[in-house]
C-alpha cells in the first residue's frame, strides 16, 4: 500500500533550513493499522502531506496505493482518503451538502453521492445533524464529518492526522471505535498520527515512532515495550529511614536494575515483575521493613520513547 | 468535459454557501443604489461640466455604479480562498481528483452569476427613475460586466494565493481601493482631472469598462470604447488566470 525510500523534506525559512523529515523508509502492507507516534514538530504531518500529494518531497520517493506521489498525484488522490489535522468543512454549509459535494469531487454522480452520504452519516451517528450548518456542530460531530468526507469514495487506504486532538475523552473513544471498525470490518488500511501514547497503544497494531524527522522505532506495541528491559516495581515504605535497607534488599533480587530509593519510596526494574513481587515483599518483611503498598507497572510507550531518546513524550503535551 | 464535471460541484458549493449568507452581496447591491439616491443629484446639480451630459444624468451615472458594484462583489473573493486555506477545507479538497484550475473557476463562475443577477436588479430598480434601456446594448453590457467580474475575481484569487497572510491581502486591497474607485470615472468624469490624474485613470481597467458601459447604455454600438473595455477586462483575466493557476499548482499546505 505504501512504500517510501529516503523520503525527505526541507523547508527554507529566511535563510534558515528546517529539516522536517530526514529520510524515512517505511512499508505499509494492505490491511495494516499503523500509528505514527512522535512529539510536536517530529515531522508526522509533513510525512503525511507528502504521502497524500499535498507536499512534494525534497528528496526520496513514495509509492502510495500503487502510484508515485510525484508522477501520478491524481491517481493517488483517487485512491486515498485524507483527514487532515484541521477541520475540513466550511462554516455556512450544511453537513450533507459538504459530504455530497465531496462525493462529486470524487466523480460520483449526484444520486450516488447522496446515497453514499446518507449511508456514512448513519454509520457515523450523524443522521440527526444532516441538515445542520457545520458551524453549529460539536467538536466531535465535526471531526466525524471529516472522517465521513474522507471515506465518501470508499478508499482502501485512509490517512488521519491527529484524528482525536482536542476532543473530550468520550468523543475520542467514540471516534477511535469508528476507526477500529473501519479497519476490522472493511479491512481498510489506516495510517494515523498521534502524540497520545495511550491512543497509539490502544488502537494501533503497529507503531512507528518518529522523532526529529527520523524513524527511531517500528513494531507492535508489545515489541516496542520489550525494548524497555523489565517491569517497573514501586514500593511505598512506612518509614523513610528504611530506604537504605530496602535498596539493599532490592539489589539482591535477580535481574533487578535501575534501583532507586528515597522519600519513603523504593523502585526498580525487573523482568517478570508480577512473579517477583511476592518474593520482594517477603524479603522486605523479614528485613523488618514495613510496607504501605506495592505496585507493578508494565512498560508504556512513554518508557519506550524515554529509553530511545532520553526525553519523555509527556513533557510536550 | 472532465473539467466541466469538476467545476460544477465547486460552483455549486460556492453558490450554496453564499446564498445562505447573502449579506455581502446585498451590501454590494445597496451601495450603488445609495450612491444613486445621494450622489447622483449632486452630480446633476453640477450643471455644465466637461464630460457630463446636459440632461439625463442617470443614464450617465448608472453604468458607473454597475462597475463599482462588480468591483465590490468580485475584488475581495481571494480572502475566502485564504480562509479555506487557514481552515482545513482547502487541504481536504486538494486531496481529491478535482483539478486546481476547477477550484478557481468554480469561484469565478459564482461571482459572474451573482453579478448578472445584481445588474438586472439595479437596472430594474432604476428604470422608474428614468433609466432608458436599449435591450441589445444592455445585453452586451451585462456580458461585459460578467467578464469584468471574472477578471477581478481571478485577480483577487491570485492575490489571495500569492499572499498567504490575510493582513497582507487586506493591505493590498486598502492601498488600491481608493485610487481605483476615484480614477474609474464612475463618480465624476475624468475630463475634470489634471493631466497626471487622467494618466492614472488610463491604466485603471475599471475606467475603460466604465466608458464602454456608458456607450452601451446609450445604445451606441460600433464605438471603439466597447472593444477596449472587453480587451482590458480580458487582459486582467488572462494575467490573473496565469498567476492564479501557477500559484495553485505550487500550493502546498
Ligand atoms: N510549511 C512549513 N514551513 C516551514 N516549516 C515547516 C512547515 N511545515 C512544517 N514545518 C516544520 O517542520 C517540522 C515538522 O513539522 P510537522 O508539522 O510535520 O510536525 P508534527 O510531527 O506533525 O507535529 P505536531 O504533533 O505538532 O502536529 C517542524 O519543525 C515545523 O516547524
Ligand atoms: Mg502534525
Residue of A nearest to B18 (CA): A92
Nearest to B25 by CA among B70, B91, B89, B88: B70
Instruction: Report d(CA A302, CA B139) in Å as an integer.
Output: 70
Distance from CA of A56 to the nearest CA of B (A): 8
What pLDDT does residue A165 have?
83
B→A interface, C-beta within 8 Å = 5-6, 8-10, 12-13, 16-18, 20-21, 84, 87-89, 91-98, 252-253
Predicted confidence (pLDDT) at residue A148 exceeds the cutoff of 60: yes
Contact A163, A5 (CB under 8 A): no
The three cell numbers locating residue B85 = 486555506
What are the φ/ψ torsions at residue A211 (nearest 5 degrees)? -145, 130
CATH for A229-298, among 3.30.9.10, 3.40.50.740, 3.30.70.980, 3.40.30.10?
A: 3.30.70.980
Residue A315 has pLDDT above 60, yes or no: no
* CA-closest residue to ligand 1 atom 25: A40
> Going by C-beta distance under 8 Å and a sequence separation of 6 or more, which residues neighbour residue A149?
A83, A88, A89, A98, A99, A102, B92
Note the pLDDT of residue A272: 83
What is the DSSP secondary structure assignment for residue B190, as one 8-state letter? Answer: G
Sign for the CA dihedral angle at A247, A253, A259, A262 comes to negative
CA distance B62 to B137: 14
Is the beta carbon of A12 within 6 A of some atom in ligand 1? no
CB contact under 8 A, B96 and A105: yes
pLDDT (tens digit per residue) in B12-30: 999 998 888 788 778 888 8
In chain A, which residues have their Cβ closer than 8 Å to the Cβ of B84? Answer: 90
Question: A12: exposed, middle or buried (C-beta count within 10 Å: 0-12, 13-18, 19+)?
Answer: exposed
The minimum CA-CA distance between B103 and chain A, rounded to whole Å, is 10
Q: What pLDDT shows up at residue B252?
A: 59
pLDDT digits (tens, 9 = 90+) for A38-67: 888 999 999 999 999 999 999 999 999 999
Ligand 1 binding pocket includes A60 (Cβ within 6 Å): no
Minimum-distance CB partner of B91 among A74, A80, A86? A86
- Nearest chain B alpha carbon to A69: B95
- The answer, yes or no, to whether residue A217 has pLDDT greater than 60, is yes
Tell me how far apart the alpha carbons of residues B150 and B160 are, in angstroms, rounded to a whole number. Answer: 15
Which residues of chain B have a pLDDT value below 50?
none
A10, A17, A18: which to mutate for ligand 1, most atoms within 8 A of CB?
Answer: A18
Instruction: Pull the grid cell for residue B89.
Output: 477545507
A41 lines ligand 1 (CB under 6 A): yes
Owner of C-alpha cell 502524540: A195
Q: Report the domain count for chain B.
A: 1
Give the minimum alpha-carbon distance from B80 to chain A in angstroms, rounded to a whole number: 10
More confident residue, A113 or B246: A113
Query: How far is the C-alpha of B17 from the C-alpha of A50, rounded, in Å?
Result: 30
> How far away, in angstroms, is A303 Cα from ligand 2 center?
22
- Residue A77: CB within 6 Å of ligand 1? no
Inter-chain residue contact B91 with A97, CB threshold 8 Å: no
- pTM of this structure: 0.86
The single residue listed with the C-alpha cell 508504556 is A300
Helix spans in chain A (H): 44-51, 73-79, 95-105, 110-123, 139-151, 169-186, 197-203, 221-226, 243-251, 273-286, 301-309
Per-residue CA distances from B73 to A69, A182, A185, B157, B180 (Å): 38, 44, 49, 13, 15
Give A253's pLDDT tier (boundaries 50, 70, 90): confident
DSSP structure class, residue B97 = S
Among the partner-chain residues A82, A86, A97, the one whose CB lies closest to the CB of B16 is A97
> What confidence score (pLDDT) does residue B209 get?
94
Q: How far apart are CA A167 and CA A201, in angstroms?
A: 18
Helix axes A139-151, A95-105, angle to 10 degrees: 20
B198 lies in which domain range? 2-44+51-249
Mapped onto helix, strand or coil, the DSSP state of residue A189 is: strand
In a mutational test of the A interface, the residue from B7, B97, B110 whose CB has the highest number of chain A CBs within 10 Å is B97
Among B16, B94, B95, whose Cβ lies nearest the Cβ of A93?
A: B16
Residues A196-214: tens digit of each pLDDT? 888 888 889 999 999 999 9
Residue with the three cell numbers 523489565: A230
- Any idea which of A121-135, A150-164, A232-246 has the lowest mean pLDDT? A232-246
CATH topology of domain A2-217: Rossmann fold (3.40.50)
- What are the residue boundaries of the structural domains of chain A, listed by start? 2-217, 229-298
Rounded Cα gap, residues A250 and A256, in angstroms: 7
Three-state DSSP at B90 gives helix
Residue spans of alpha helices (H) in chain B: 2-20, 23-38, 40-45, 57-74, 78-86, 89-94, 100-126, 135-162, 166-183, 195-202, 205-217, 224-250
Give the mutation target among A15, A20, A54 for probing the ligand 1 site: most ligand atoms within 8 A of CB. Answer: A20
**Which sign, positive or negative, has the C-alpha torsion B40, B43, B47, B50?**
negative
- Whole-number Å distance, alpha carbon A41 to ligand 2 midpoint, is 7
Contact state of B97 with A77 under an 8 Å Cβ cutoff: yes
Predicted pLDDT at B47: 75
pLDDT at residue B1 in the model: 56
Mean pLDDT in residue range A256-281 = 86
Stated length of chain A: 317
CA of A315 to the centre of ligand 1 (A): 18
Cβ within 8 Å of B, A 53-72? 53-56
Contact A69, A62 (CB under 8 A): yes
pLDDT band at residue A317 using 50, 70 and 90 as cut-offs: very low
Q: List CB contacts (< 8 A) between B18 and chain A.
A: 92
Which has more pLDDT, A315 or A69? A69
Closest B-chain CA to A80: B95
Ligand nearest to the backbone CA of A49: 1
Would you say the CB of residue A46 lies under 6 angstroms from ligand 1? Answer: yes
Amino acid at each position: 500500500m505504501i512504500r517510501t525510500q529516503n523520503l525527505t523534506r526541507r523547508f527554507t525559512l529566511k535563510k534558515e533550513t528546517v529539516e522536517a523529515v530526514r529520510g524515512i523508509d517505511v512499508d505499509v502492507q494492505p490491511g495494516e493499522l499503523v500509528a505514527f507516534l512522535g512529539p510536536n514538530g517530529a515531522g508526522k504531518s509533513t510525512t503525511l502531506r507528502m504521502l497524500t500529494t499535498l507536499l512534494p518531497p525534497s528528496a526520496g520517493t513514495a509509492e502510495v496505493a500503487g502510484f508515485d506521489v510525484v508522477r501520478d498525484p491524481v491517481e493517488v488522490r483517487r485512491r486515498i482518503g485524507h483527514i487532515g489535522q484541521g477541520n475540513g468543512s466550511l462554516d455556512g454549509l450544511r453537513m450533507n451538502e459538504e459530504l455530497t459535494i465531496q462525493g462529486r469531487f470524487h466523480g460520483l454522480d449526484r444520486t450516488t453521492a447522496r446515497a453514499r452520504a446518507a449511508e456514512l452519516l448513519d454509520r457515523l451517528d450523524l443522521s440527526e445533524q444532516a441538515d445542520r450548518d457545520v458551524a453549529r456542530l460539536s467538536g466531535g460531530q465535526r471531526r466525524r464529518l471529516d472522517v465521513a468526507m474522507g471515506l465518501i469514495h470508499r478508499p482502501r487506504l485512509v490517512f488521519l492526522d491527529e484524528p482525536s486532538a482536542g476532543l473530550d475523552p468520550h468523543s475520542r473513544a467514540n471516534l477511535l471505535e469508528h476507526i477500529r471498525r473501519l479497519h476490522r470490518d472493511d479491512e481498510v488500511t489506516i495510517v494515523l498520527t498521534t502524540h497520545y501514547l495511550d491512543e497509539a497503544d490502544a488502537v494501533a497494531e503497529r507503531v512507528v515512532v518518529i522523532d526529529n524527522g527520523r524513524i527511531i522505532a517500528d513494531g507492535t506495541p508489545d515489541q516496542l515495550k520489550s525494548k524497555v528491559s523489565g517491569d517497573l516495581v514501586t514500593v511505598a515504605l512506612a518509614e523513610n529511614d528504611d530506604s537504605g535497607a530496602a535498596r539493599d534488599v532490592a539489589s539482591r533480587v535477580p535481574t533487578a536494575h535501575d534501583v532507586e530509593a528515597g522519600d519513603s519510596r523504593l523502585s526498580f526494574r525487573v523482568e517478570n515483575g508480577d512473579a517477583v513481587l511476592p518474593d520482594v515483599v517477603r524479603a522486605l518483611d523479614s528485613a523488618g521493613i514495613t510496607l504501605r503498598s506495592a505496585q507493578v507497572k508494565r512498560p508504556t510507550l512513554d518508557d519506550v520513547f524515554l529509553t530511545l531518546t532520553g526525553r519523555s513524550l509527556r513533557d510536550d503535551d | 468535459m472532465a473539467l466541466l464535471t469538476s467545476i460544477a460541484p465547486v460552483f455549486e458549493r460556492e453558490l450554496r454557501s453564499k446564498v445562505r449568507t447573502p449579506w455581502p452581496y446585498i451590501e454590494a447591491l445597496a451601495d450603488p443604489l445609495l450612491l444613486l439616491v445621494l450622489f447622483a443629484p449632486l452630480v446633476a446639480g453640477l450643471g455644465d461640466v466637461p464630460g457630463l451630459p446636459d440632461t439625463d444624468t442617470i443614464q450617465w451615472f448608472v453604468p458607473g455604479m454597475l462597475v463599482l458594484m462588480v468591483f465590490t462583489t468580485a475584488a475581495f473573493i481571494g480572502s475566502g480562498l485564504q480562509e479555506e486555506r487557514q481552515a482545513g477545507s482547502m487541504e481536504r479538497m486538494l486531496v481529491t481528483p478535482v483539478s486546481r484550475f476547477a477550484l478557481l473557476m468554480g469561484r469565478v463562475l459564482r461571482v459572474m452569476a451573482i453579478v448578472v443577477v445584481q445588474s438586472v436588479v439595479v437596472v430594474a430598480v432604476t428604470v422608474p427613475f428614468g433609466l432608458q434601456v436599449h435591450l441589445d446594448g444592455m445585453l452586451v453590457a451585462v456580458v461585459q460586466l460578467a467578464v469584468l467580474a471574472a477578471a477581478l475575481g481571478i485577480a483577487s484569487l491570485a492575490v489571495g494565493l500569492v499572499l498567504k497572510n490575510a493582513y497582507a491581502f487586506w493591505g493590498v486591497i486598502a492601498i488600491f481601493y481608493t485610487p481605483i474607485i476615484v480614477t474609474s470615472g464612475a463618480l465624476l468624469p475624468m475630463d475634470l482631472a489634471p493631466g497626471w490624474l487622467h494618466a492614472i485613470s488610463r491604466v485603471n481597467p475599471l475606467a475603460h469598462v466604465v466608458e464602454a458601459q456608458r456607450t452601451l447604455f446609450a445604445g451606441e454600438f460600433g464605438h471603439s470604447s466597447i472593444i477596449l473595455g472587453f480587451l482590458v477586462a480580458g487582459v486582467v483575466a488572462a494575467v490573473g488566470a496565469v498567476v492564479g493557476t501557477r500559484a495553485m499548482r505550487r500550493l502546498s499546505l
